[in-house]
């Protein structure tokens, strides 16, 4: 077999030139992890046992149920990819989420990081509170990466995006036949994250019935998969995040008080960006480098960004209230990287809502502007068109000179002029008329 990575191997027992069992053993000698499904027309218990002992992940007899086989293949591949992602996560977490790489120099953020340093090695459940976009999951990953559980799985669950029945199956797993579509048993996140960490994002959205089961796992460290009578014991650390006031939800009867106290052993409250504006410049620098590397533009020899906001643009960022917090700032910086034509990023690349808040209107060459629902491609094309027009006007409509100023080949500039429908001749005539008048 060719030496490469496979998501799954589908292997027939009866091959034209050799035995499938022989191939199975050969594959297993080279690769202990890739799932292997063995298919045979000669279904018998001894053959199945031999195949499973030799390393087959599952066994299907002809004729098989196509729908069941495809579902099982999809489920196995999804599980395999999740395992691969977590292996990669283990290798990179300490570098990506180590405390020095969590950007913030404000006193409030430094206090948060001091707390994280203290609580990460413990087994305690931690509740991370803060507005949307303040970086709650980033803090959760840092806690996991700096804990004794760092070599095991970290699983993030967005509880608000899953309906209650699917959430329970996702968390606790199910056995075959537990419900109509349960044609095969499936492990839940708690079983998969044994000795690791589960992070519940927006924990306040969990339904009351699931809250009771979550409380049992925290208290007893055990649970039952849906449809099963068998109790499974697990060692999983719980981290939870909320942008709502859980205490208020308790008072309204929407969240269990006993679960609230179990989750709120240690509470980390992340400040909104508007309350730590001294962190904006280092965050901007961090995101500039991140997106310049992704877009392979404006990088120095060490891989750092050369981009800088002009003072007026930076002041607009400092004055903005940032209702979307760090996530909103990151989006603004990413947009600036995509639209930047020069290392100094001007005010006109900032989004309209920031300019409007600062009382600034940018004049467009067409007197109008893009619609509010313009796509990224339309925004980029509009900005590129305006930059080219400015350079053509400055060069008295000499395309050669404009190309030199823009540091692009003349052929490239000509292609862009055609693609962007820039009417050079018409503009040139207008320029000469104005000059003559």
Q: Report which secondary-structure segment, H or E, holds 327.
A: helix 325-339
What is the predicted pLDDT for the residue at 42?
A: 63
Residue 16: count of CB within 10 angstroms of its CB: 5
Which residues is 222 bridged to in the sheet?
233
How far is Cα 347 from Cα 313, in angstroms, rounded to an integer? Answer: 5
| Residue 342 C-beta-side C-alpha neighbours within 13 Å | 13
Query: Residue 145 class from Cβ within 10 Å (0-12 exposed, 13-18 middle, 19+ buried)?
Result: buried
Contact present, 36 and 11 (Cβ < 8 Å):
yes
Contact present, 214 and 175 (Cβ < 8 Å):
no
User: β-strands 222-223, 232-233: how paired?
Assistant: antiparallel
Contact present, 36 and 13 (Cβ < 8 Å):
no
> Is 85-271 in the same CATH topology as 9-64?
yes
| Residue 262 C-beta-side C-alpha neighbours within 13 Å | 19
Q: Where are the beta strands (DSSP E) in 144-255?
A: 154-158, 197-201, 222-223, 232-233, 237-242
User: β-strands 36-40, 58-61: how paired?
Assistant: parallel
CA distances from 303 to 95, 286, 300, 412 (A): 17, 12, 5, 26
Which residues is 299 bridged to in the sheet?
305
Token readout for 226 is 């849906």
CATH 3.30.1330.40 fits 85-271, yes or no: no
What is the predicted pLDDT for the residue at 411?
A: 82
- Among 61, 63, 2, 59, CA closest to 36: 59
What is the predicted pLDDT for the residue at 427?
A: 45
How far is Cα 115 from Cα 268, in angstroms, rounded to an integer? Answer: 8
How far is Cα 305 from Cα 86, in angstroms, rounded to an integer? Answer: 29
9-64 is classed in which CATH architecture? 3-Layer(aba) Sandwich (3.40)
Query: Global pTM?
Result: 0.63
Extract the residue ranges of the chain whose pLDDT is less than 50.
1-3, 93-97, 363-368, 425-437
Per-residue pLDDT reduced to its tens digit, 106-153 = 999 989 998 999 999 999 999 999 999 999 999 999 999 999 999 999
- Which residues have a Cβ under 8 Å from the Cβ of 324 and sit 6 or more positions away? 132, 133, 331
Contact present, 18 and 27 (Cβ < 8 Å):
no
What is the predicted pLDDT for the residue at 368?
A: 45
Per-residue pLDDT reduced to its tens digit, 21-76 = 888 888 888 777 788 888 877 666 677 778 788 888 887 877 777 888 888 888 88
Alpha helices in 340-374 (DSSP H): 352-357
What is the predicted pLDDT for the residue at 287?
A: 94
Contact present, 195 and 240 (Cβ < 8 Å):
no
What is the predicted pLDDT for the residue at 332?
A: 93
One of 3.90.1150.10, 1.20.1740.10, 3.40.718.10, 1.10.8.60 is the CATH number of 275-436, namely: 1.10.8.60
Contact present, 183 and 176 (Cβ < 8 Å):
yes
Three-state secondary structure call for residue 52:
helix
Query: Residue 24 class from Cβ within 10 Å (0-12 exposed, 13-18 middle, 19+ buried)?
Result: buried
What is the predicted pLDDT for the residue at 87?
A: 63
Three-state secondary structure call for residue 128:
strand
Q: Where are the domains of the chain?
A: 9-64, 85-271, 275-436
Residue 242: count of CB within 10 angstroms of its CB: 23
């Amino acid at each position: 077999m060719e030496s490469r990575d496979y998501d799954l191997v589908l292997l027939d027992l009866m091959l034209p030139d050799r035995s499938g069992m022989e191939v199975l053993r050969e594959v297993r000698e080279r690769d202990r992890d890739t799932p292997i499904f063995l298919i045979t027309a000669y279904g018998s218990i001894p053959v199945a046992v031999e195949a499973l002992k030799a390393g087959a992940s599952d066994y299907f007899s002809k004729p098989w149920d196509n729908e069941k086989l495809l579902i099982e293949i999809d489920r196995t591949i999804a599980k395999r990819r999740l395992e691969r992602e977590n292996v990669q996560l283990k290798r990179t977490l300490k570098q990506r989420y180590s405390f020095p790489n969590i950007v913030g120099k404000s006193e409030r953020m430094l206090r948060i990081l001091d707390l994280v340093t203290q609580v990460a090695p413990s087994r305690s459940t931690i509740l991370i509170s803060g507005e949307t976009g303040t970086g709650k999951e980033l803090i959760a990953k840092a806690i996991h990466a700096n804990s004794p559980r760092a070599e095991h799985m970290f699983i993030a669950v967005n509880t608000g995006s899953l309906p209650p029945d699917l959430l329970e199956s996702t968390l606790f797993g199910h056995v075959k036949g537990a419900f109509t579509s349960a044609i095969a048993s499936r492990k839940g996140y708690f079983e998969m994250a044994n000795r690791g960490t589960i992070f519940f994002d927006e924990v306040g959205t969990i339904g009351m019935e699931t809250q009771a089961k979550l409380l049992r796992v925290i208290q007893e460290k055990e649970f039952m998969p849906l449809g099963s009578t068998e109790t499974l014991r697990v060692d999983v650390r719980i981290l939870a995040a909320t942008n709502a006031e859980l205490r208020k939800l308790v008072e309204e009867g929407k969240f269990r008080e006993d679960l609230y106290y179990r989750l709120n052993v240690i509470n980390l409250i992340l400040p909104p960006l508007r309350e730590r504006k001294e962190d904006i410049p280092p965050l901007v620098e961090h995101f500039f480098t991140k997106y310049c590397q992704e877009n392979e533009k404006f990088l120095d020899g060490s891989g750092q960004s050369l981009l800088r906001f002009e003072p007026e643009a930076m002041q607009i960022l400092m004055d903005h209230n940032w209702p979307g917090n760090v996530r909103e700032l990151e989006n603004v910086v990413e947009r600036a990287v995509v639209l930047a034509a020069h290392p100094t990023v001007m005010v006109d690349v900032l989004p309209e809502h920031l300019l409007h808040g600062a009382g600034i209107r940018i004049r467009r060459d067409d007197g109008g502007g893009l619609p509010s629902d313009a796509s990224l491609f339309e925004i980029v094309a509009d900005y590129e068109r305006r930059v080219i027009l400015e350079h053509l006007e400055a060069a008295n409509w000499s395309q050669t000179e404009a190309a030199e100023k823009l540091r692009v080949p003349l052929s490239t500039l000509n292609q862009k002029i055609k693609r962007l429908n820039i009417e050079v001749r018409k503009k040139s005539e207008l320029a000469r008329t104005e000059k003559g008048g």
